[in-house]
Amino acid sequence: MPLTVLGIESSCDDTAAAVVTDDGRVLSSVVSGQTALHADFGGVVPEIAARAHAERLDLCVEAALEQAGVTLRDLDAIAVTAGPGLIGGVMAGVMLAKGLAAGTGLPLVGVNHLAGHALTPRLTDGIGFPYLMLLVSGGHCQFLRVSGPEAFTRLGGTIDDAPGEAFDKVAKLLGLPQPGGPAVEAEAAKGDPDAVSLPRPLLDRPGCDMSFSGLKTAVLRVRDQAVAAEGGLRESLRADICASFQAAVAEVLAEKTRRALAQADVPVVAVAGGVAANRTIRAALERVASDAGARFLAPPLALCTDNAAMIAWAGIERFRLGHRDGMDLAARPRWPL
């Protein structure tokens, strides 16, 4: 009989529950997003997020069990995100998991959200260690050399904004809707990536660190110049800015991935996070991998963005190592890998 584990995730603005087996089957994965709740505020409001998690977690767990066709009695453990993240949300998830564990006698396993992302390619593609993981989302941007379920080496990351955050801010500057990534990508398809000259931050410096906030400032300058000179932003210039911005992000990510891959000396590079949905960026990373003779892996988008299947899976990996948490499991706002 395979191990069957319930995963619970509530560290940012998605409330999620999933049931996963240790032979890599996702029996269910329920995600209840909160984008609409935060839309008027230009970002995730921690108080609103925590309340929404508290209201929805039970329902998500119930739905995940039902969709998987199991009951609490069929489970072998309960895995929960214990950090890093917005503390109110993490606490809501940890409290529910403790309650379920206490009520059923099932073992409790606390999981690091970033480990959840980083171990996803093992769930989706069954790959072995070691491999390189590029985590690129709205909140994260880092290279991890993954050499075991609990062995992560950070090779570099952003020193300011995450790329998704930069896409979102650029969208806002150009009057495009949120989330900015898909909007900027659609606009970029109509533009010329060489039309607007934008910087390639930190590309001239050795190592795998990145910076994206300067790009956003450069876009702001181009926009303001156009508005001053022409009284507004031409449709075609907006498309050119989007295409040029996307090309700059792709080039930086590709070159830094090339270096990280050389440093990590691994046969596989995998990506996770919402920005991995971007076709231009994906293609650039694929090229880097193929030039280096490495395999490129991008899990299906639903498992790339925040979800609880990755938490259940990371819980399985920790459980198999003998890891168990007690009722003193703490919710942690910060928890570096």
Q: Could you say which of 21, 158, 244, 305 contacts ligand KG4 (CB under 6 A)?
A: 305
Select 30 or 108, whichever has its Cβ closest to ligand KG4.
Answer: 30
Residue 84 binds ligand KG4, judged by CB under 6 A: no
Distance CA 202, CA 297 (A): 26
Select 161 or 306, whichever has its Cβ closest to Zn ion.
Answer: 306
Q: Could you say which of 187, 240, 306, 317 contacts Zn ion (CB under 5 A)?
A: 306
Stretch binding ligand KG4 (CB under 6 A), from 1-9, 43-51, 179-187, 215-223: 179-187
**Nearest 5 degrees, angle CA 74-CA 100-CA 46?**
125
E strand intervals along 84-196: 108-112, 131-136, 141-148, 151-157
Residues annotated in a binding site: 113, 117, 135-139, 168, 181, 185, 278, 306
Binding residues among 182-221 for ligand KG4 as defined by CB under 6 A: 182, 185
Stretch binding ligand KG4 (CB under 6 A), from 18-26, 48-56, 234-242, 268-276: 268-276
Residue 137 binds ligand KG4, judged by CB under 6 A: yes
Residue 273 binds ligand KG4, judged by CB under 6 A: yes
Question: Which pair of structure tokens corresponds to residue 36?
Answer: 């609409």
Residue 181 binds ligand KG4, judged by CB under 6 A: yes
Distance CA 249, CA 60 (A): 35
Residues annotated in a binding site for Fe cation: 113, 117, 306
Q: Could you say which of 274, 297, 303, 309 contacts ligand KG4 (CB under 6 A)?
A: 274
> What totals of helices (H) and strands (E) does the chain contain, helices first?
11, 10
Question: Which pair of structure tokens corresponds to residue 157?
Answer: 């990351």
* Residue 176 partner contact from Zn ion, ligand KG4, none using kind-dependent CB cut-offs of 5 to 8 Å: none
Stretch binding ligand KG4 (CB under 6 A), from 74-82, 132-140, 218-226, 291-299: 132-140
Question: CB neighbours (10 Å) of residue 42?
Answer: 11
In whole angstroms, the minimum distance from the beta carbon of 274 to ligand KG4 comes to 2
Q: Name 224's Cβ contacts closer than 8 Å, sequence gap at least 6.
A: none
Question: Which pair of structure tokens corresponds to residue 58?
Answer: 């039970």
* 4-9, strands of its sheet edge to edge: 26-33, 14-21, 4-9, 77-83, 108-112
Only one residue has tokens 């110049």, namely 225
Residue 165 binds Zn ion, judged by CB under 5 A: no
Question: Using an 8 Å Cβ cutoff, are 168 and 138 in contact?
Answer: yes
* Residue 167 partner contact from ligand KG4, Zn ion, none using kind-dependent CB cut-offs of 5 to 8 Å: ligand KG4
What sign does the CA torsion over 159, 164, 167, 173 have? negative
Residue 157 binds ligand KG4, judged by CB under 6 A: no
Q: Name 277's Cβ contacts closer than 8 Å, sequence gap at least 6.
A: 181, 182, 301, 304
Residue 143 binds ligand KG4, judged by CB under 6 A: no
- Interacting residue ranges for ligand KG4, rule: CB under 6 A: 12, 137-139, 164-165, 167-168, 179-182, 185, 273-275, 277-278, 305-306
- Interacting residue ranges for Zn ion, rule: CB under 5 A: 306
